[in-house]
Amino acid sequence: MSDIAKIIGQRIRNYRNKSGLSQEKLAELAGCHPTYIGQLERGEKNATLESIEKIAAALKLPLSQLFEKIGSQSNQSPNIPLACYDLFAAKSPKEQEQLYRILLEIEQYKE
């Protein structure tokens, strides 16, 4: 499957977990089958725009948030900044602040 399907799937999983929803509950809220949610999260299926819209609404996210920071990427190496963005975006504001402080401490330690 394409990189974008995997990225969007991982984001759906991250936001679903952050919301405390099971795949079954998200599927119910979005009007999808639970198997479909699992396939999307694993990047095995390409989602329709309509299903992505329903899933974003069920997660109480703006549709644009699922697509933030996705652009042309090199297939040769992992996009570390994008992976970090996805990790941070899926966390609560308090967790984001803690992660940021950890990074700052690591950066200061290097000096």
The structure tokens listed for 7 are 């990225």
End-to-end CA distance of the chain: 42
| Residue span of the structural domain in which 32 resides | 3-110
The pTM of the whole model exceeds 0.85: no
- What CATH code is carried by the domain that includes residue 36? 1.10.260.40
12-27 tens-digit pLDDT: 998 998 899 999 999 9
DSSP-H helix ranges across 1-111: 3-19, 23-30, 34-41, 49-58, 63-67, 80-89, 93-110
44-89 tens-digit pLDDT: 999 999 999 999 999 999 998 888 877 655 555 677 887 788 888 8
Report the amino acid identity of residue 67: F
Q: Number of structural domains, the chain?
A: 1
pLDDT value at position 91?
82
